């Protein structure tokens, strides 16, 4: 098995160079256009095409980037008892629109001194709010300059997978089965798998490299649903509006106020579910609200769906003549449903982590990954840490040693799999 310290010495410079190169490429996705096209933004093509070129430059012959931005590359195994099956490793190229993602200027903090890291625009990475920093005193950290997010979600995973593949190609005698690499767009919109070419995938099992802090192993995620709430009012000149105007914006605001604040993302953690208003737009006559809601329990999801309909009825009662309709849709399912049927997949990653010198920290994701969709399609796909902290924010950071550990874990997973 591959020891972390040996792997780290060999790959850390390449890993850093790749990560810095990838985060500088603007790849913010846009959920408002995700239903109409994939990728949702043209900028994602820049990194997809860069990765396509890099894979081909490594001598990989089977590389395919389709018209929807799904990049799949295959590397044959070298085992005499190969049964033709593959395992896959997956990461997404897009970054969240929750914080600015264009013109990322990564900052490398060598020999971190344990103090508060001060960035632009009064952004700080404070040890009192980031206790994990203590683990990395004296090591190399990477952040943005504070004007943007960093993009470790999930360009750290992309860099780690690419570094693993280059390492394997430099060590052709290292035993391995058939491998598939999958890079996807639009994961952050929750709709990135809508056009995924499942019929082209050869992997029986996959692993997303899209988790957070070093050591995380995620085998359970939220059930994720979204509701579109439509408000129909009546426009009227404000000078003669008394008793006649029905303001759709006011209706939407009243609906939002009915979402329990004690069940919002900022008020919940652990295994508690939540709702939140995600986007609202419109005018006096028509308004549209998107509500996201999450839970680890499908019965609780159904309860929340029904609650939204009750809220809608209450708004109609409070605004006579107004109309409210609710359309709910599943985004992804709790991957635990399927993964519990394949305990050997989880046990392999546990062993890979321990061989890499770290005890797995198993906890549910308060979110989801592209692996949630693959798992629902019958391809069990747990999530391995990529190493980043404070995702989707200007205070995002990652330790280079955490990324190197992820490389060791991936290599050990590949080495253990044939056994």
For residues 213, 216, 221, 225, the Cα torsion angle rounded to the nearest 10 degrees is 10
> Distance (Å, rounded) from C-alpha 131 to C-alpha 100?
25
Is residue 311 located within the same domain as residue 361?
no
pTM: 0.86
pLDDT tier for residue 196 given thresholds of 50, 70 and 90: very high
Residue 118 pLDDT more than 70?
yes
What is the C-alpha end-to-end distance of the chain, expressed in Å?
12
> Distance (Å, rounded) from C-alpha 11 to C-alpha 165?
11
Domain count, the chain: 2
Q: pLDDT value at position 31?
A: 84
Catalytic residue among 94, 153, 154, 188: 94
Residue 61 pLDDT more than 70?
yes
Residues 6 or more apart whose Cβ sits within 8 Å of residue 129? none
Q: pLDDT value at position 116?
A: 97
Q: Are 290 and 228 in contact (CB under 8 A)?
A: yes
263 is catalytic: no
396 is catalytic: no
Which H or E run includes 107? strand 107-109
Q: pLDDT value at position 85?
A: 74
Is residue 19 located within the same domain as residue 134?
yes
Residue 81 pLDDT more than 80?
no
> Distance (Å, rounded) from C-alpha 65 to C-alpha 72?
7
Query: Which tokens is 388 given?
Result: 């980043």
Q: Count Cβ atoms below 10 Å from residue 340 Cβ, excluding itself.
A: 12
Q: pLDDT value at position 419?
A: 72
Is residue 351 located within the same domain as residue 321?
no
Q: Count Cβ atoms below 10 Å from residue 404 Cβ, excluding itself.
A: 26
Residue 34 pLDDT more than 70?
no
Q: From 313, 332, 351, give the residue that closes a domain.
A: 332
Residue 62 pLDDT more than 80?
yes
Catalytic residue among 187, 188, 218, 220: 187
What residues make up the domain containing 245?
223-332
pLDDT tier for residue 35 given thresholds of 50, 70 and 90: low
Map 220-240 to HEC letters. CECEEEEEEEEEECECCCHHH
Is residue 102 located within the same domain as residue 208?
yes
Write the pLDDT tens digit of every residue in 227-245: 999 999 999 999 999 999 9
CATH of the domain at 13: 3.40.630.10
Is residue 177 located within the same domain as residue 270?
no
């Amino acid at each position: 098995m591959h020891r972390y310290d040996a792997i780290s010495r060999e790959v850390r410079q390449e890993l850093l160079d790749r990560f810095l190169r990838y985060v500088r490429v603007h790849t913010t996705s846009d959920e408002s256009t995700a239903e109409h096209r994939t990728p949702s933004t043209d900028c994602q093509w820049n990194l997809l095409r860069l990765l396509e070129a890099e894979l081909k430059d490594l001598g990989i012959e089977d590389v395919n980037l389709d018209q929807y931005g799904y990049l799949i590359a295959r590397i044959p195994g070298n085992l005499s008892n190969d049964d033709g099956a593959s395992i896959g490793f997956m990461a997404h190229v897009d970054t969240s629109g929750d914080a600015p993602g264009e013109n990322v200027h990564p900052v490398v903090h060598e020999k971190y001194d344990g103090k508060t890291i001060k960035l632009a625009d009064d952004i700080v990475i404070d040890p009192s709010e980031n206790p994990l920093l203590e683990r990395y005193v004296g090591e190399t950290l990477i952040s943005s300059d504070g004007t943007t997010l960093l993009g470790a979600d999930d360009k750290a995973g992309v860099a780690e997978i690419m570094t693993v593949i280059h390492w394997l190609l430099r060590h052709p005698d290292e035993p391995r089965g058939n491998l598939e690499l999958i890079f996807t767009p639009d994961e952050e919109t929750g709709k990135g798998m809508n056009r995924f070419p499942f019929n082209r995938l050869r992997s029986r099992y996959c692993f997303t490299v899209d988790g957070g802090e070093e050591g995380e192993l995620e085998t359970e995620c939220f059930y994720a649903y979204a509701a579109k709430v439509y408000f129909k009012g009546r426009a009227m000149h404000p000078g003669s509006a008394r008793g006649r105007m029905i303001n759709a914006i006011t209706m939407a605001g009243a609906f939002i106020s009915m979402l329990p604040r004690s069940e919002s993302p900022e008020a919940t953690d652990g295994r508690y579910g939540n709702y939140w208003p995600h986007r609202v737009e419109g005018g006096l006559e028509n308004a549209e609200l998107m509500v996201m809601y999450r839970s680890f329990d499908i019965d609780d999801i159904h309860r929340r769906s029904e609650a939204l309909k009750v809220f809608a009825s209450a708004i109609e009662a409070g605004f006579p003549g107004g109309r409210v309709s609710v359309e709910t849709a599943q985004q992804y399912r709790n991957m635990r449903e399927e993964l519990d049927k394949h305990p050997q997949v989880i046990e392999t990653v546990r062993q890979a982590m321990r061989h890499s010198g770290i005890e797995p920290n198993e906890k549910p994701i308060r979110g989801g990954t592209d692996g949630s969709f693959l798992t629902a399609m019958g391809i069990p796909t747990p999530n391995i840490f990529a190493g980043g902290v404070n995702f989707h924010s200007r205070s995002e950071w990652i330790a280079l040693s955490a990324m190197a550990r992820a490389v060791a874990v991936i290599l050990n997973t590949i080495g253990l799999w044939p056994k």
